[in-house]
């Protein structure tokens, strides 16, 4: 960087390069000169995506130690995961999925009144609706990625943009916002962060004991998936999970624990009913934070690409098993963690043909997507599950 600037001063570097380098210094100094700065991080895409934005929150605090850093989410689980995060000032939850547009606009008025200096739409928020929220809040600088199907109106809603990159993880796509703020990462490595209390950690230890799992290899399993768009169609068939569990109960030192929320209760009840014994247990967690604490006690974790997959990565579960879906790609793999991907023969590397960050559903008919997930056989998963 210093050599490049020196070349500029000597007239030996391209004009556009010099303009970028010194403009960034000006931006950085303007932000640094402020005693107090207001930043709103908007993370409306989902629970897992909010978790993947926590390294950005950490870097924002390190670069702007005196700033007011607020976060806006639309999922209760996302709010829960940000509780006790020391890098933010406050987290705000708005139930945008279950309230009218007018109710949402009225609720967001309080953010307009804050007169934020900067708002950041975290990655990936590809729908134009997210940028409409940003414009309504009206921060002075409004940062976003450029997504597929970006148009003229998108550009009017924000002030600074960077291109998305499918070759980079979501965490790294988020960290690129620092360039727009004229600063650089201060940490050598970046991980998703969940800050659990000692009481929550103690609860997990007691739950493990009460479930009779002391001394056993525990395999956590999430049989669900996202509930927005048509993401439920990327679930591995429940019948396959049941067949897998029948095989796994032959392993005397291996215990299976099911994780999930109210959306998975019917599936959990069916699993227990069909197995008819206690070879599979349901996690007694009453919040996502408790679930995270208990996930952290697992030897392995099996799922498709869901929020709980990212929770398992954040809790550094030693062995993760991920069943490939049409939506799986580099941006959302377990970050900086060893994991076993169970290949989907129907996908064949065409993930971005099925699903891109363009605001649309997974491409394909419901029947085509069900057949796609049926193509992953139980024996493909069994060997990996036994190896935890």
| Spatial separation of the C-alpha atoms in residues 345 and 342, rounded to whole Å | 9
Instruction: Note whether residue 228 is domain-resident.
Output: yes
202 & 174 share domain? no
Number of domains in the chain: 2
Instruction: Note whether residue 191 is domain-resident.
Output: no
Instruction: Note whether residue 185 is domain-resident.
Output: no
Give whole-number Cα distances, 9 to 4, 15, 23, in Å: 9, 11, 14
Give residue 46's region: left, alpha or beta (phi > 0; psi -120 to 50): left
Instruction: Note whether residue 211 is domain-resident.
Output: yes
114, 148, 180 - which closes a domain: 180
Domain that holds residue 269: 198-386
Statement: residue 202 has pLDDT above 70: yes
| Spatial separation of the C-alpha atoms in residues 76 and 81, rounded to whole Å | 9
Please answer whether residues 378 and 240 qualify as being in contact, where contact means their C-beta atoms are separated by less than 8 angstroms: yes
Res 33: pLDDT: 46
For the segment 205-215, the average pLDDT, to the nearest whole number, is: 94
For the chain, percent helix, then strand, then coil, each to nearest 5? Answer: 45, 15, 40
134 & 210 share domain? no
- Tens of pLDDT, residue by residue over 348-369, are 999 999 999 999 999 999 999 9
120 & 239 share domain? no
Please answer whether residues 109 and 79 qualify as being in contact, where contact means their C-beta atoms are separated by less than 8 angstroms: no
204 & 328 share domain? yes
180, 208, 233 - which closes a domain: 180
pLDDT band at 97 (very low <50, low <70, confident <90, very high): confident
225 & 344 share domain? yes
pTM of the model: 0.90
Instruction: Note whether residue 287 is domain-resident.
Output: yes
Res 36: pLDDT: 81
- Provide the CATH number for the domain around residue 354: 3.40.50.2000
370 & 261 share domain? yes
Instruction: Note whether residue 364 is domain-resident.
Output: yes
331 & 221 share domain? yes
Res 14: pLDDT: 56
Cis geometry, peptide bond prior to residue 124 (ω within 30 degrees of 0) = yes
355 & 208 share domain? yes
Statement: residue 383 has pLDDT above 70: yes
- Tens of pLDDT, residue by residue over 21-76, are 444 444 444 454 455 899 999 999 999 999 999 999 999 999 999 999 999 999 99
161 & 229 share domain? no
298 & 324 share domain? yes
């Amino acid at each position: 960087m210093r050599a490049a600037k020196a070349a500029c001063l000597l007239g030996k570097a391209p004009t556009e390069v010099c303009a970028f380098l010194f403009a960034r210094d000006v931006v950085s100094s303007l932000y640094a000169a402020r005693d107090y700065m207001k930043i709103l991080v908007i993370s409306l895409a989902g629970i897992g995506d909010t978790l993947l934005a926590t390294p950005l929150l950490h870097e924002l605090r390190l670069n702007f130690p005196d700033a007011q850093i607020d976060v806006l989410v639309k999922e209760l689980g996302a709010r829960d995961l940000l509780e006790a995060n020391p890098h933010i000032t406050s987290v705000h939850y708005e139930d945008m999925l279950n309230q009218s547009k007018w109710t949402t606009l009225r609720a967001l008025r309080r953010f307009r009144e804050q007169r934020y200096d900067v708002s950041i739409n975290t990655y990936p928020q590809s729908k134009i609706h997210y940028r409409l929220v940003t414009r309504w809040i009206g921060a002075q600088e409004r940062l976003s990625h450029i997504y597929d199907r970006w148009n003229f109106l998108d550009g009017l809603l924000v002030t600074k943009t960077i291109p998305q990159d499918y070759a980079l993880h979501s965490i790294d796509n988020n960290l690129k916002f620092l360039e727009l703020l004229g600063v650089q990462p201060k940490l050598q490595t970046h991980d998703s962060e969940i800050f659990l209390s000692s009481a929550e950690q103690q609860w997990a230890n007691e739950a493990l004991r009460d479930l009779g799992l002391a001394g056993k290899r525990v395999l956590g399993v999430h049989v669900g998936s996202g509930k927005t768009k048509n993401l439920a169609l990327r679930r591995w068939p429940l019948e396959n999970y049941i067949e897998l569990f029948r095989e796994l109960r032959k392993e005397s030192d291996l215990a299976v624990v099911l994780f999930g929320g109210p959306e998975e209760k019917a599936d959990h009840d069916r699993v227990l009913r069909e197995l008819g014994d206690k070879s599979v247990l349901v996690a007694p967690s009453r919040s996502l934070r408790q679930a995270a604490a208990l996930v952290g006690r697992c030897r392995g974790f099996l799922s498709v690409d869901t929020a709980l997959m990212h929770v398992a990565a954040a809790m550094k579960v030693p062995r993760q098993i991920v069943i490939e879906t049409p939506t799986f790609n580099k941006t959302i793999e377990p970050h900086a963690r060893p994991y076993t991907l169970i290949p989907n023969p129907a996908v064949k590397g065409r993930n971005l043909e099925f699903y891109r960050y363009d605001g649309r559903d997974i491409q394909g008919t419901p029947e085509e997507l069900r057949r796609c997930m049926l193509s992953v056989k139980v024996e493909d998963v069994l060997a990996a599950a036994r190896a935890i």
